[in-house]
Amino acid sequence: MIISGIEHSAVINNAKFYAENEGYELHVLPTLENGVADLNALKNLLEKHKEDVALVSVMAANNETGVIQPFKEIGELCNKHHTPFVCDTTQYIGKAPFNFSESNIDYALLSGHKIGAMTGAGFVLARDPNLLKTLVIGGGQERGLRGGTQNYIGFETIAVALNTMDKKLPELEKLASMRNQFEKKIKENYPKVVIMGEDAPRMSGTTFLAYPGIHGQAVQIELESQDIYVTTSSACSDNEPTTSKVLKAMGVTDDIGRGAVRISLGPCANQETYDKIYHALESAFNKLSQIKSY
């Protein structure tokens, strides 16, 4: 099995389970400094192991940095070697134009709550559904693949969310422009600030930044006092006071990684929102830079 070093814990933990309990050999792709999975490394692994690779799993967009992965190119490589390609599209679908039939992905995964649907609902898009194996036998629901009473309300909310997000896609270009101006202003006034994945294609509303020497959780607390809520890594591991696994995979050192703060906005954001966040960060940086956190 081949996975990237920036996958969600749900993918990493499952891969580790199969490696430890089912005898699979697990290879983790190196990540470039800009947060993009190393395509050359993947190409070499596929050529080396050929038909022995059970699957490749690389996400479409990272949940911390917002960096978009070259999933179409990855899919082409996998197709060439007849290797199944699993792609976590949770951070991508609904937030960028997506056409499954043109994606070169064999299995695309989505958690509904990330696009505004109810929690506990999601889906797998399978290029060939006949290859899916039964997960829960139960009463034969979902064509015998996943038994149990279906979460109809949750499924309906996914449809509503997708339709709503699709109508808001034209707003994403404007959002990206505001994000870029916001980051430019921060870098001009605080040259020490590092923006993760700055030189890579990213999702429109994501900024993952750090002021070296100022702890990210301290910045988070300052922003919360002004009713601005951010995270210091992925939402699942926000309470961890260490450099996240994603940043470590990118080669980010602890003096930067421990200061990381993730700002994530949707298509409803406006210039006033970014101005408010900028002034809050300005206040936090000016205050906390007087007292080095680490």
pLDDT digits (tens, 9 = 90+) for 96-105: 999 999 999 9
Give one DSSP letter per residue of 249-275, joined into a string.
HTT--HHHHTTEEEEE--TT--HHHHH
Task: Decide if pLDDT at 235 tops 70.
Answer: no
Question: Per DSSP, what are the bridge partners of residue 109?
Answer: 88, 124
Mean pLDDT for all residues in the chain: 94
Task: Decide if pLDDT at 262 tops 90.
Answer: yes
The neighbour count for residue 211, using CB atoms within 10 Å, is: 24
pLDDT: which is higher, 20 or 51:
20
| Domains of the chain, start order | 2-168 (3.40.640.10), 170-288 (3.90.1150.10)
Q: How many residues does this entry show for the chain?
A: 294
pLDDT tens, position by position, 30-40: 999 999 999 99
Average pLDDT over residues 111-130: 95
Task: Decide if pLDDT at 236 tops 60.
Answer: no
At residue 232, the pLDDT reads: 92
- CA 2, CA 81: separation in Å to the nearest integer? 13
Q: What is the pTM of this model?
A: 0.93
The amino acid at 233: S
Edge-to-edge strand order for the sheet containing 107-111?
A: 27-29, 2-4, 56-57, 85-88, 107-111, 122-126
The amino acid at 220: Q
Task: Decide if pLDDT at 112 tops 90.
Answer: yes
Calculate what percentage of the chain has a pLDDT beyond 70.
96
The tokens for 268 are 């409803």
Secondary element (H or E) of residue 73:
helix 71-80
pLDDT tens, position by position, 194-233: 999 999 999 999 999 999 999 999 999 999 999 999 999 7
Burial of 43-70, coded b for 16+ CB within 10 Å and e otherwise, reads: eebbeeeeeebebbbbbbbbbbbbbbbb
The tokens for 132 are 């899916």
